[in-house]
Structure formats: C-alpha cells, structure tokens
Amino acid sequence: MEQPSRGRPDPPVVVIGGGLAGLATAARLAKQRFTVQLFEARDRLGGDWAPRQLGSITVDDAPAVIGLPAPWRDLFRKSGRPLETELSRCGRALEPAPAPMYVFADGVTLTLPTDRGEQYDALAAAYGAPVATTWRDLLDGLDATWQALRPLGLETELSDRRHAARAARQLRPKGTVADLAKQAPHPHLAAVIRSVAWRQGSAPERTPAWCAVDLVIARTFGRWSIDNGRTSVLVDALTERLQLRKVTVHLNTEIDRILLTDGRVTGVRTASGRSIAAAAVVCTADPWQLTDRLVPQPELGRLRRDLRGLAPAHAPLVRHERTGSTGPIQETIALDGSGVPVITYVRPGLRTTHDFTTAGPEPAWGPAWTRRSDLARRATTTTDVAGLFIAGAATVAGSGPPQVVQSGALASAACADYAERSGFRDKERLLESRPRPSGPRRSSHA
C-alpha cells in the first residue's frame, strides 16, 4: 500500500502486535502519513480488550472502568476525530463511573468516591474524622510523587538508565507498598493500599511504594466508563481509525524474526517464511519474545541482561456470566486479608469478574516489580538497534492501560525522529505532516 506523495513513496514502518500499544502507535504514525503495516498473530485486534460474543452479548476482558482518560483523548485527537466526537458518532459516551463498593474480609462494605471532598466525607462517616484526615494527608503526600513520575517515561521518553536509577532512589515514599500500607489509619484502608500492587500484577512486599500513586490518579482524574460498560468500544473505534488511515493490517500473521543488517532494522520475517522490508519496526510484543525469538544474539544485550532478573506480572482470571441485571455499571472490589482483590463489574445483562486470587504470570502484562531499581531495568522506547522501538506494558511508561496507550505516543514520536535523522522519510513531507513537539520526544500532558 502506498500513501499519496510527491516523489518516491515512503518505506513502510512495521508495527508488531495489535493490542492497545500497537493500535495507538499505528494510528499516530499513519496520521503523520507514514506507510504502516501492522501484524497480529491472532484473528482480531485489541489483545485482551478485543470484543467477542457470549451468546447475544458482546464481551471483552478489559476493565469496565478506566482511569486517566488524557492519553485516550490525546490519541484520538492526534489521529483524527476527538474521543467524545468518535464515541458520539457511534451512539456512545465516556461518562464518570459510579463510586466503587469495597467489601472487606470482615464483611464490612464501604462505598469510596474518588472526589477528594466526597472521599473525606465517606471515610469520616464510616471511621471518624481522624481516620479521614490521616488518609487525606497520606494521599496528598503522594501528589508530589505523581508529579515526579510524569516525566519518567510517561510524558517524555526516558532513555538514560542512569537518570532512571537516580530517580528511583529519590522517589518518595521510600519502601514498598506493604510498608506504606502500615501507615494507613485503618486496616480496611491498608488493604486498599495493598490492592494497588496486586492490581499491577506484583506482590505488595516487592512493589515500590510510589506505585500507590494510582490512588492519587483516581482521586485527581476520576474514574470513567463507556455508557454501556463495554470498554472494547474504544478498540472498535481505533480499528476504524486504522482503516480510515489506510493502515495495512495482517491478522493471523505471526512475526518470528526482525531482520537486521549491520545493526540496523531492514525488515521482518513471518512464521511462514515471508520477508517484508521495513524502514523501522515498533515492537509491542512482550520483551521476552523480543529477546528470545525476534532479535538474534548479540543485539539488545542490555535488555537481555535486565530481563534475567525480571519475571512476568500476574494477570487475573477473567470470567463472564450472563445475568438479568439492568441499570448503570456497578463495580465491587472484594479484598481478602492481604488486600488481594476480586473485582466484579455488573452491567446490563452481564457480570464480569477479574479474580486476582487466581492470577497467573502473563508476559503481556510486562514485568512484575521486584525492587525500586526495576525502574531502570524496564524497556526503553528507543533500543540499541537502529530503527527498532518498543511500546507496551514492558516500558518505563508503566503497565496500566492509559500508560500502554501513552507508550504508543512515545514510540511514534521516536520513530518519526528516526525517520528525519536517517533520511528514510522525505523531510519536506515530514515537516508538513508532523505536529511539532514542545520538547524532545515529548507527548502531551497526561
């Protein structure tokens, strides 16, 4: 496929993987008039967010409630129609989600809003003003941590490992999520803090305490859902966006090798043996696939060394059950004594359960936390191989869905920079089509 151009056509950029990171990267690159080919080993796009049928109901394994909507809005705005316009076009809307109900191991329930004032009032009513004040102050202390984390691979590409290591040592609070939970003013709230680590696929005793900023992100940006509770509507919209931008999508096509010449990407090879030339490759497969199968030795030596001390994060078991339920989406979070969550989403006609008590290792979720220094051991967007970039849950941006979407923004920006520096993209056309960033490889604010 060739995009209209003056002079010779652009060489293709290959995106490996059709999950959230792959869709986000391909949509952004195509909007910048790159010729893009996306390869997905499965028969559908979206990864765990891919829609499928359960009888007459469309289901997906995505959480029905999402946080930090800014990366989603930025993605849709930078690749075509704004998010709200796109959802309205298909009769849907992004709406604030109702407050979740926590069910603790002793049977006590607590509906906990995300709004700062409403949260204080709910905790004061349930446990008294001193508990509510201490909790508010604890989360207020994490606000500075969130601001410190934003430039560390989320809003700006973080390629300097030494800077990442220094940042990891300086980030507050010190210790682990388990240590932070001990500062909670009530055992129920300690379980809420511990649940943050489990939801990231890691044990609280190994997860850095700064990961509890998820609680601040929810309090600051709220919690959101599609009005019908089916988050894969976003995948549907992105799939249409790729069609509109003329991205060539290859389903049921596995890539088994990234082809290199003199340490530079020249193409990819499919499992069937077909070779496709490529000017650059953005890989969204998990890092173990990348180093074990896709790139031969000795390239990516630093990433190989980092992965020796890391293991995949644990993903929940997801179950769907048809029900006669009606009304708005409801979220219930049941926590055992260790804070391990079982999250239930109820929407019209369907109950979906994300059970972290039976979680198992899933490479697509990126690496689990083992220590603070893991921040400097996670994959960087730009690799040691010229023309090879990484996006997805394994990168420094983080493993949550908004962070994965944002990793696509950083990968597309890095790829565009490489196109300009290496000369494989006509510079005049590149300058015409590419929005000028406010800083080096920087995306919009989350």
The span from the CA of 53 to the CA of 349, in Å, is 13
Q: What is the mean pLDDT of each run of 10 residues along the chain (446 residues)?
A: 46 95 98 96 96 93 94 95 93 94 98 96 98 97 91 84 78 94 98 98 97 96 90 95 96 98 96 96 97 92 91 97 90 97 95 97 96 89 96 94 96 95 62 44 40
Q: What is the 3-state secondary structure (H, E, C) of 82-118?
A: CHHHHHHHCCCCEEECCCCEEECCCCCEEECCCCHHH
Angle at 405 between CA 100 and CA 211, to 5 degrees: 55
The span from the CA of 199 to the CA of 187, in Å, is 18
- Helix axis angle for 70-79 and 401-422, nearest 10°, is 40
Q: Are 60 and 230 in contact (CB under 8 A)?
A: yes
Q: Are 368 and 206 in contact (CB under 8 A)?
A: yes
Peptide bond into 298 cis (omega under 30): yes
HSE-up of 141 (CA within 13 Å, CB side)? 16
Neighbours of 193 (CB within 10 A): 26
Question: Which secondary-structure segment (H or E) carries 445?
Answer: none
Check residue 285 and give its pLDDT.
Answer: 97
**How is the chain split among helix, strand and coil, in percent rounded to 5?**
40, 25, 40
Sorted by sequence, the CB contacts under 8 Å of residue 20 that are 6+ apart come out as 46, 47, 49, 235, 401, 404, 405, 408
> What DSSP line would sit under 11-27, residue for residue?
PEEEEE--SHHHHHHHH
SS3 276: strand
Q: For strand 314-322 and strand 350-361, is the pairing parallel, antiparallel, or unpaired?
A: antiparallel
Neighbours of 140 (CB within 10 A): 12
Check residue 316 and give its pLDDT.
Answer: 98
**Burial annotation 145-173 (CB, 10 A radius, 16+ → b, else e):** bbeebeebbbbbbbbebeebeebbeebeb
**Burial annotation 218-233 (CB, 10 A radius, 16+ → b, else e):** bbbeebbbbeebbbbb
Q: Are 60 and 47 in contact (CB under 8 A)?
A: no
